[in-house]
Amino acid sequence: MTTPSRSTPFWQRQLLILLALAVFFVALVLPFCMAVLWSLVDPSTPWAYPAVLPPVLSLRRWVEIWATSALPQAMYNSYTLAACVSFLTLLLATPTAYAFGRMEFPGKAAAQMLTLVPLVLPGFVSAIFFSALLIELGLYSRFLGILIGHTVGLLPYAIRLLSVSFSMVRQDLIDAARDLGASRVTVFRTAYLPVLKPGLLAALIIVFILSIEEFAISYIVGAPDFTTVPTILYSYLGYNFIRPNAAAVSLILVVPNVLLMLIAERLLKSADPAVVTGKG
């Protein structure tokens, strides 16, 4: 993506800024504000046309959802699962990412393309096939089944991010550390880790977020015993359509993830360019 240069006329820069603000408002601010308003609609006083704003605002909807639904258990399931998926995905992705980022071998480009296959398959298609595979293998644990499904589906993201990080490690630093007699641990700590740290943290956070938001595998493999926040949200958006409840659950799902994304962005910006590029 290119940025407007100083030679761009003033009116064009202002127009681009206005368009960006308009898109930001329509795509993010407006839906978020509407979700907040709908979540605060008092159950005893519905919000309907022609009222512009809810007649009565209260937190009763939040209290009722928390007390009467499976949301607390769903949040526990989602965050426990996401933490396990994040660490397992990084553990499995690191060797492959090292090979893609640091080694040259025949068929490397084809292998890199194959690792992206889970990203192009429709979620429900892969979830149905994955569920059938678990039954064939005699694996009936809901948690373990979803853990494997999420890990397989999110491996491409971690592999891609870590491959870029491994490719940015400076070979001259590795050679210098080895020439000075450094151990493997010292070489990793001094040459690899400073460059890999932002990528590792970003991959960890992104996989965590995507696992929390994943719906297809969680629903097909886990239903009806194992609920997650997206499956609770689906119950309010599907046959039992309750817009205010869906708005409250969507905020519970989205707000923590937005904060995590901001943390990931800050971590990536805090990476020392001199360490990564060798240009201080």
In the chain, which residue ranges form alpha helices assigned H by DSSP? 10-24, 30-39, 60-68, 71-102, 108-114, 117-120, 123-136, 142-167, 171-179, 184-187, 193-213, 216-222, 229-237, 243-269, 273-277
Q: Of residues 273 and 5, which shows the higher confidence score? A: 5
* pLDDT at res. 73: 93
Burial of 190 (0-12, 13-18, 19+ CB in 10 A): middle
Question: Is residue 236's pLDDT more than 80?
Answer: yes
Q: Percent of the chain, pLDDT > 70?
A: 93
pTM of the entire predicted model: 0.83
Could you report the per-residue pLDDT of 122-170, keeping only the tens digit for each?
A: 888 888 888 888 888 888 888 998 999 899 989 999 999 899 999 988 8
Sequence-separated (6 or more) residues with CB below 8 Å from residue 82: 207, 208, 209, 211, 212
Could you report the per-residue pLDDT of 238-251, keeping only the tens digit for each?
A: 767 788 889 999 99
Mean pLDDT of 96-105: 92
As a whole number of Å, the end-to-end CA separation of the chain is 25
Q: Is 203 left (phi over 0), alpha (psi -120 to 50) or beta?
A: alpha
* pLDDT at res. 202: 87
115: nearest Cα among 87, 143, 157, 146: 157
Mean pLDDT of 203-232: 89
Could you report the per-residue pLDDT of 8-37, keeping only the tens digit for each?
A: 778 888 899 999 999 999 988 999 999 999
177: nearest Cα among 191, 167, 166: 191
Question: Is residue 270's pLDDT more than 80?
Answer: no
Domains of the chain: 70-272 (1.10.3720.10)
Task: To the nearest 10°, report the CA torsion of 108, 110, 112, 116.
Answer: -170
Sequence-separated (6 or more) residues with CB below 8 Å from residue 175: none
Mean pLDDT of 103-126: 86
